[in-house]
Amino acid sequence: MKTIEDLDVAGKRVFVRADLNVPLSDGRITDDGRIRAVAPTITKLLQAGAKVIVASHLGRPKGEPDPQFSLAPVALRLGEILGTSVSFATDTVGESAKATVAALADGEVTLLENLRFNAGETAKDDAERGAFADQLAALADAYVGDGFGAVHRKHASVYDLPARLPHAVGDLIATEVAVLKRLTEEVERPYVVVLGGSKVSDKVGVIDNLLGKADRILIGGGMAYTFLAALGHEVGISLLQKDQIPTVLEYLERAKANGVEFVLPVDVSVSASFPDTKTHKPVEDFEVVDADKIPADKEGLDIGPRTRELFASKLADAATVFWNGPVGVFEHPTFAEGTKAVAAALLESNAFTVVGGGDSAAAVRILGFDETKFGHISTGGGASLEYLEGKTLPGLAALEG
């Protein structure tokens, strides 16, 4: 893949496909990690004299403008991080976008409104998607792909647009790919994988692929209860995907045959109701129970203290660690201890540690850990997982062309 250094950008309009899909609460950005991650690429282009057009999606609008998914707050934060003014186009390829881009001087930057406000961005129809890509291409002279969190999507700005312009990979994607190669092609062992999150079905592909690569797989979060149920344990009202039990049993058998150690919770924190993650109202009835003795009327919401110690011991000698998914409801203090323990164990190890984006990355920041102490914090949870599954990512394939 070509890099920014391979492009002549001075005085040129450079379209940067970023991933600025940040979490918002009442119009306020609660985690600006993805904005900060792409800032170095934008800065490099500005310093080279480019006219930079940044574009991204935010949330899942239905192909038309929706104020709750506007990128306007992102434009303000991007300007603060870059230390320069960022103009904002109130549409994607309309009059505002054309006028805002036309007004750019060398070394200036603008942000277009949410790409998904145009149905062509996510269209399944190649012609509709291509028509939108044509409109985006008319705004620019060159393309830089740096939105790693979107490269697993066959969307107009990710897949179709690079073919229409001289293109290169941004520094963020280059780093992400280099890290993922260390997890797939050049792995230092022992290689330990920690998987959390709510659903087994979200991780089926990656577990399937890792059974031939990892030395240990630690399972926490909501998905753990399907594993526990597969072993015949009562899981109460915990999150359970019964349809995944046959798959889980197959994985456990394959792991045994392949010499891969599967580590499941031995105790869990439970409650009769899901905690209020906004007000952090105290949970009066929570208790810690053995993982095979969850009360029928309670829900598992975090790994327990013995499991925290167990997971830490299984991470202590690792040379490489990939972690994707919190192991409890970290948004509430009562059930954040497991996720804190995993993060702390990663920092205490001498391993090359990769936090696989999404909620895991958010948890690291929200729980107050110094993210610079980890080997790498990915900006794309879904993209990272699909890469580890061995899938071809459309956005990367387009940049290789």
SS3 336: coil
How many helical (H) and strand (E) elements, i.e. helices and strands, does the chain have? 13, 17
| DSSP letters spanning 376-397 | EE-S-HHHHHHHHHTPPPHHHH
CA angle 122, 123, 125 (to 5 degrees): 150
From the list 236, 338, 380, 382, the catalytic residue is 382
Q: Does residue 371 have a known ligand-binding role?
A: no
Q: Does residue 360 have a known ligand-binding role?
A: yes
Compute the distance between CA of residue 109 and CA of residue 129 in angstroms, rounded to an integer.
25
pLDDT of residue 26: 85
From the list 12, 13, 34, 298, the catalytic residue is 34
Both structure tokens of 109: 């930057």
Q: Give yes or no: 259 in active site.
A: no
List of domains in the chain: 4-173 (3.40.50.1260), 187-369 (3.40.50.1260)
Q: Does residue 370 have a known ligand-binding role?
A: no
CA angle 160, 391, 159 (to 5 degrees): 5
How far from the centroid of its chain's Cα atoms is residue 102's Cα? 33
From the list 145, 147, 220, 358, the catalytic residue is 358
Q: Does residue 359 have a known ligand-binding role?
A: yes
- The type of residue at 98 is K
CA distances, 17 to each of 1, 90, 197 (Å)? 16, 17, 28
Compute the distance between CA of residue 41 and CA of residue 172 in angstroms, rounded to an integer.
7
SS3 302: strand
Q: Give yes or no: 197 in active site.
A: no
230: nearest Cα among 220, 240, 221, 217 = 240
- Each residue's pLDDT, cut to its tens digit, for the chain (401 residues) gives 999 999 999 999 999 999 999 989 888 998 898 999 999 999 999 999 999 999 999 999 999 999 999 999 999 999 999 999 999 999 999 999 999 999 999 999 999 999 999 999 999 999 999 999 999 999 999 999 999 999 999 999 999 999 999 999 999 999 999 999 999 988 999 999 999 998 899 898 899 999 989 999 999 999 999 999 999 999 999 999 999 999 999 999 999 999 999 999 999 999 999 999 888 999 989 999 999 999 999 999 999 999 999 999 999 999 999 999 999 999 999 999 999 999 999 999 999 999 987 788 889 988 999 989 999 999 888 899 899 888 999 999 999 97
Q: Give yes or no: 170 in active site.
A: no
CA angle 308, 327, 359 (to 5 degrees): 140
From the list 98, 199, 254, 306, the catalytic residue is 199
Q: Does residue 249 have a known ligand-binding role?
A: no
Which pTM does this prediction carry?
0.90
Q: Give yes or no: 196 in active site.
A: no
Q: Does residue 57 have a known ligand-binding role?
A: yes
How far from the centroid of its chain's Cα atoms is residue 248's Cα? 24
pLDDT of residue 381: 81
Q: Does residue 337 have a known ligand-binding role?
A: no
15: nearest Cα among 82, 94, 83, 115 = 115
